[in-house]
Structure 1
Amino acid sequence: MTGADPIVLSLSVPLATVIAILVVSIFWIYGRKNGADSKLPPGDKGWPIVGSTFSLFKPHPATSIGDFLHLQHSRYGKIFSTRYLGKTLVVSADPEFNRFVFQNEMRLFQNNLPPHCKKILGEGILPFMAGETYRNMKSLVLGFFNSWQIQTRFLAEVEEAANRVMNSWRQKSLILANEELNKFFFNLAVERIIGMTPDDPEVEELRKAFNAANAGLYSVPLSLPFTPFSKALKARDFICSIVKREAEDRKLKSDKINGKENDLIWYCLKNNPSISMKRICDAVIGSIFAVLFNTQICVGLAMYFLGQCPESLQQLREEIKQKINYTDTTAKLTWDDYKNMEFCQSVINETLRFGNIIPVLWRKTLSDVYFKGYTIPQGTAIMTHIAAMHLDPSAFENPNNFYPWRWLAMGKSNNWMPFGGGVRHCCGSEIARMEIAVFLRYLVLNYDWELVEHDHPVALPSVTFPKGLPIRIHPLEEKTP
């Protein structure tokens, strides 16, 4: 037959018309809905359905805000709206609005982590809690990680472990810093939280399980075999099996259990005998996540930045030698020593500012919110963009330079929020800073180092070193005790 079948033609015209009407309708409905939100901050809504999802999470250097945010800020200012996974999203780099969000936590705003995170971490971790339940669990966790514990027990533990790992590195010339730091901080965490030492054969399995769980948090939540999300769920099951076994052992024995009477599991059972096994698992997983991954990446970033800024490395080394009794080979680090490491604290502050370990924090409105003439409806997702605040030239001079000395002059800044703010200010911030400072102290007194190859930190969206931060280390003639 030549030409088109008349029946096919008669069907194709209406079908094409229907498709065209549907496409136009989608765009019209989409545009109308966004137009109805006339009091929302202005912004580019992106593509239908997916919005700006892919642009928001496009990998970019951790020391920048990325091309998408740079473009939106230049067009619409520090607060703009877009769409994320089909829903309205307000993105803020405005310090005043971000502080307003943190100060009104649990009144106007609540945490808004993606639902799949709850399946991996557990609904009993602090970010998912609110009200009295949140206050009770936070009180329990802070009771264990209290100031006295940090200043006495934990300080000594970190110092001993840091000295031990520095000695082990003397047999090496090349290290993958990311892996070494992951092992170091995990061993610290698992001993104080679960009561297991690095000699325990299950510790390495646990470390791999926590790393798999962490990878699942930043993956597409598909429960298919061999996907990162599926592996993360299996990792959680393994972690919980270990935690439940350890908790049952403690329940069966009221006396000391091989020195494990000082770990978090024991503390939870002692102070809340009716606590469920699930709640203990969630507390353990949440605590290890809180003190492991962010601390690990912060030290890696500090090594990266210090390696590129010899002047700051030299001043840090000199400060430690001058302010701490470095000549006494039997001297142990005291809390006063730690507090006197002023330039070290500046290095940590600048690393947190420039490296942006947690670039964004997610919240959701609990009711309609009014701010600077905008109306943000109830249930709207909010992205408080911390990295954009940290890299704002109106807040920090030459923000794209690593310059620790700025903190000696300015002290504190309202635009610096690496630990969040308000009632949900990170309760592990003090112990994290102490661990970072002690590790850096032993590192700079034992070694010089250099990057083997370029490995700039990347936000994916979590901050990581794509090549594992390969570093060549050079032992110094002087050696700490």
Structure 2
Amino acid sequence: MDINSALSVPLSILAAIAFLKFLLHKKNNNHKKNKKLPPGEMGLPWIGETMDFYKAQRRNRLFEEFVQPRITKYGKTFKTRLMGSPTVVVNGAEANRFFLSNEFKLVISSWPSSSVQLMGKQSIMEKQGEAHRFLRGVIATSLSSAGLEAIVPKMCETIQLHLQRNWSSGQEKISLYGQTKIVTFTIVFKCLFGINVERGILETFGRVLDGVFAPPIKFPGSKFSRAKSARLEIEKMLLDVVRQKRKEMEGGTVRDGKGMLLSQLVAGLVRGEISEEEVVDNIVLLVFAAHDTTSFAIAMTFRMLARHPNFYSILLQEHEDIIRNKRPGETLTLEDTKKMKYTWEVARESMRLFPPIFGSFRKAIVDIEYEGFTIPKGWKVLWTAYGTHYDAEYFRDPMKFNPSRFEEPVQPYAFLPFGGGPRLCAGYQLAKLNILIYLHYVVSRYNWSLLYPDEPISMDPLPFPSHGMPMKISPK
């Protein structure tokens, strides 16, 4: 057999393989061409429409200046490119239900690299599937009815002590937002984790928050670099706390109540179910999740009460009725908070108009067919709270402040101040109690008025009143 004959068989095989690859490539290209992507503009390479997104975000006008104009032009589902990723923005209760309820099946949570590094790679926000369900179960155990019953007196004590120290010393003016941040932070640290609040720790957490959406660049002086240093300080302090708690538990000398979330997490550590890093990362994340957003919700509730004195009169009456049925000096109970139905309607309506979170990103883990469009695997999906909160389809006359709209059940996935689906905020019940109890002690003990009821709202990275919401106060 000559060399040409010897090569004829393998060459024919190679030719067949090449032809098959060509057909497969052609088929894949035709498949991609047949996919109908959502309408929208991708903008510049990599940058996309990121600059427009950030400009609107800094003014806390993401919906008005970025989302709404594109809804008008393209519909409730549109594509763009944000922070280097092709992204589909979805709006409406049906979209929220579809994507949030299909967590782990069609999409997974997707946070920027800076957020992951600062909140913690082992935190619940990065966990998927069974690992996520396990950590959520640990948190849920601490925030069960029995856990909340035990937390309420501690919250009352913390809030009353704070008001006595900071609101009753002859001051006529306070920064409401600054004061609520101190209180909510102290409640999470002391009531949920049983950790004493040392001087400067709130400011250290604040430095971490400053960098969660900053570019993850570690040159000296950058936002991310400062945030990373602050995170290391917090980590060192928490490691000492966790190790001491573990020593107490293993030695049978634990003194705090069983409902403490720190005890639940360290118990999992002792049993070998979670690591030391997971305990620390989840404490850090939960402090942020239950702190800044709750402070903003409280501040916005006071803002709306200041603008609507008729609603404030109804709310005040509710709290006076509760006091009338209490003995002098008797603290609130969980049952008392259940009687604050109108107060919770006011708070919910305030959060509808001023959601503590804009929304969040997910990443498609498979090709997703939705509303006749294909969202390719690897693309990001951004759902927005404003996309339903401001939609007349779900809330009649949406820009009007009307707490009574919450007297009736709201369509599922239309009201999302705490997210939804498997990643519904695990601490939302704690946030609710915080808001209700804080409002109770302020409105029942103080006359108050806001200096700037129409104070602008800024965002960096979360929303906050630009001037700290200064308030005039006087004890009743």
The TM tier, using the shorter chain, reads 0.7 to 0.9
Alignment match, 1:231 = 226
Tell me if structure 2 keeps the 8 A contact 1:62–1:458. yes
User: Which amino acid is the alignment partner of residue 457 of structure 1?
Assistant: I
**Within 5 A, what are the aligned runs for 1:411-426?**
411-414=409-412, 415-426=414-425
Structure 2 runs not aligned, ≥5 long: 1-28
In structure 1, C-alpha distance between the alignment counterparts of 2:237 and 2:362, rounded to whole Å? 33
Deviation at 1:440, TM superposition (A): 0.6
In structure 1, C-alpha distance between the alignment counterparts of 2:330 and 2:192, rounded to whole Å? 28
Tell me if structure 2 keeps the 8 A contact 1:63–1:400. no
1:206 aligns with 2:201: yes
1:46 aligns with 2:43: yes
In structure 2, C-alpha distance between the alignment counterparts of 1:63 and 1:446, rounded to whole Å? 35
Deviation at 1:472, TM superposition (A): 1.5
Alignment match, 1:70 = 68
Deviation at 1:467, TM superposition (A): 1.6
Alignment match, 1:102 = 100
Cα distance change of structure 1 residues 161 and 317 upon mapping to structure 2, 3 Å threshold: same
In structure 1, C-alpha distance between the alignment counterparts of 2:470 and 2:235, rounded to whole Å? 33
User: Which amino acid is the alignment partner of residue 69 of structure 2?
Assistant: L
Alignment match, 2:11 = none
In structure 1, C-alpha distance between the alignment counterparts of 2:100 and 2:57, rounded to whole Å? 27
Q: Percent identity?
A: 24
Alignment match, 2:400 = 401
- From 253, 256, 259, give the equivalent of 1:256: 253
Tell me if structure 2 keeps the 8 A contact 1:176–1:468. yes
Alignment match, 1:335 = 334
Alignment match, 2:356 = 357
Tell me if structure 2 keeps the 8 A contact 1:166–1:446. no
SS at match of 2:211: helix
Tell me if structure 1 keeps the 8 A contact 2:143–2:429. no
Tell me if structure 2 keeps the 8 A contact 1:213–1:236. yes
Alignment match, 2:164 = 167
Cα distance change of structure 1 residues 252 and 407 upon mapping to structure 2, 3 Å threshold: closer
Which digits, 9 at most, give the CA deviation of each residue in 1:330-374, with x for residues without a partner? 333222221111101101211211111111111111101111211
Alignment match, 2:213 = 218
State the TM-score, normalized to the length of structure 1. Answer: 0.85
In structure 2, C-alpha distance between the alignment counterparts of 1:420 and 1:182, rounded to whole Å? 21
In structure 1, C-alpha distance between the alignment counterparts of 2:369 and 2:301, rounded to whole Å? 40
Which digits, 9 at most, give the CA deviation of each residue in 1:152-187, with x for residues without a partner? 211111112222223230221111112111111111
Tell me if structure 2 keeps the 8 A contact 1:324–1:337. no
**Within 5 A, what are the aligned runs for 1:90-169?**
90-150=88-148, 152-168=149-165, 169=167
In structure 1, C-alpha distance between the alignment counterparts of 2:461 and 2:263, rounded to whole Å? 35
Cα distance change of structure 1 residues 186 and 59 upon mapping to structure 2, 3 Å threshold: same
In structure 2, C-alpha distance between the alignment counterparts of 1:422 and 1:378, rounded to whole Å? 21
In structure 1, C-alpha distance between the alignment counterparts of 2:246 and 2:348, rounded to whole Å? 42
Deviation at 1:138, TM superposition (A): 1.4
Alignment match, 1:377 = 376
Deviation at 1:48, TM superposition (A): 3.4
RMSD: 2.2
Question: Aligned residues, how many?
Answer: 437
Deviation at 1:460, TM superposition (A): 4.4
Deviation at 1:264, TM superposition (A): 3.1
Structure 1 runs not aligned, ≥5 long: 1-31, 477-481
User: Which amino acid is the alignment partner of residue 419 of structure 2?
Assistant: G
Tell me if structure 2 keeps the 8 A contact 1:63–1:355. no
User: Which amino acid is the alignment partner of residue 75 of structure 2?
Assistant: G
**Within 5 A, what are the aligned runs for 1:458-477?**
458-476=458-476
Which digits, 9 at most, give the CA deviation of each residue in 1:298-355, with x for residues without a partner? 1111112211211121111011112453563233322222111110110121121111
Alignment match, 2:446 = 447
Tell me if structure 1 keeps the 8 A contact 2:112–2:213. no
In structure 1, C-alpha distance between the alignment counterparts of 2:242 and 2:398, rounded to whole Å? 48
Cα distance change of structure 1 residues 87 and 455 upon mapping to structure 2, 3 Å threshold: same
Task: List structure 1 runs of 4+ shifted beyond 6 angstroms.
Answer: none
